[in-house]
Structure 1
Amino acid sequence: MVDTSDEWIVQRTGIHARHIAAEGELTSDLATAAATAALKDAGLTIGDIDLILVATATPDDTFPSTAVTVQKKLGMEHGAAFDLHAVCSGFVFALSTADAYIRASQAKRILVIGAETFSRILDWTDRTTCVLFGDGAGAVILGAAVESGTREDRGILTTHLRSDGRHREKLYVDGGPSSTGTVGHLRMEGREVFKYAVGMITDVIEDAFRATGYGAEDLDWFVPHQANIRIIDGSARKLGIASEKVVRTVADHGNTSAASIPLALSVANEDGRLKRGDLVMLEAMGGGFTWGSALLRW
């Protein structure tokens, strides 16, 4: 449909494959599957969950939230559920929100899901965007625990979030209920996004290091948003993070927006790389611009 090739795509993005939701398959379906897998992995049931957060920029409907649809599909009749919208940074924003709820004793266990069907908002005649994005979902469960209050605590140690609406036109969707009454298509100024990405990403990661006293050399794993291999590797080099500590899944998934970090965590967990006590840095940048980091101990 567009003038491109596998070689061109791989060379510029590192993407070899993507997954596309089936006809009739919704963001909530992907989210529910990821949530079910996370509950099984944690040895929990939906009855153990107090709150469901779904980070998505591609909800099933304008309303209700995708989270309440997931709540229904999981058979949860208690607690609360809502969506967060920060595009590719959504999962990090949702983790930060969940962390705040737990620290405030508003919830004991929270199911955090990143889920997207970006294939539904792509212009398949625009080769600058249609080769980049895919569909997927990933989920984690956060739980309250009594720790010693040191840097060695497990769980989320610190999060740092940013946004700057002045950059809206560089990465946006040209439609919506209030503006056009349509879904619209994703539009991106790729070179501009790339230009800002590495600097913004390193900014919030350095904030996390300052807040905790850790440095790049202390990390066991760096799990960035899987947008483009050049941005991933450029960020790691600028921060002094060793290449072998970077979790890369962009080749197999493409850019799945809010789903990319939990998908990468899932892969690293399943293949045995992630071990109890590992220090892990998460980071993402998305439309808005939004960007953020989360430093956690697995």
Structure 2
Amino acid sequence: MSYQISVDRSAPHTVLGLRRTVRIDHAGDDIGAGMAALYELAAVTGFSPAGPPSTTYRGEFRAGTSTEADFGLPVAPESIRAANEEVTVRRSEPEIFAHLTHRGDYHRIGDAYSALYEWIRGSQYQQAGPPTEVYLVAPDEALNPHDLLTEIRVPVVLAELVVRVSTPFAETVAVVREALAEQGFGVLTEIDVRATLRTKLGVDMEDYLILGACNPNLAHQALDIDRHIGQLLPCNVVVRTDDDVTVVEAVDPDQLLRADNQAALRPIAHDARDRLAAALSAVAKRATTQ
């Protein structure tokens, strides 16, 4: 089966979420049970579904193993009548993702994943997060297996906007700040995700810091053209640990622009992207010389 693969930007929306463990050898049963529980939560709490459900897999799919999966349902926030501690409601952030659509049952869906990952490896992008299946036509809606329609999404970033270094997390954060400053960026916001989740939810995770970087000159130029562009400011730069390496990732300002944004914003977005790429390149070079 051939697939058409493209890269798009997701729109922010409100998501009702539920995390469950999925046994790979019983994925069909566990996913079905998770979806049933998700829709039951929506009914009990008064959320109105506003789009197709999805499953995001947090681990690898290997026979004989299990993985955590996040079941998600876009909902209309104004429909809320009640809530309880079981319900997770979040506002999704815009992200860039590569995607394709698989038609038919799930026995051959591995071919779709293989095609998507192969495309990413040969592209200018790198994977930036776990895959998500969006069930455009789910089993309870299909008259026969051929009618099933599943969109597979993989978050991506431009390869030039992600680096992996061997220097420790704290040292890397300091180097990132210096490299950003050299490109005219100041850090306006700082979110320690690990500390926040530990304090608010009692959940532990790896080091994960989000730096909100802003170049005042570029921001001024963009705001003079379109005051709404402030919704995309500042540019987020993530520093996180991944096993024994530290990963630095920057948002692509050009990809965040909508198709209907004024053409005059494009050169500013390109400039911001080039500066972020130069900063990350400097981080990689300094890591190799330390």
- Which range, TM-score by smaller chain? under 0.3
Larger radius of gyration: 2
Structure 2 length normalisation: TM-score? 0.27
TM-score when scaled to structure 1? 0.26
Indicate the structure with greater strand content. Answer: 2
Instruction: Work out which structure has the larger RCO, using CA pairs closer than 8 Å and 6 or more positions apart in sequence.
Output: 1
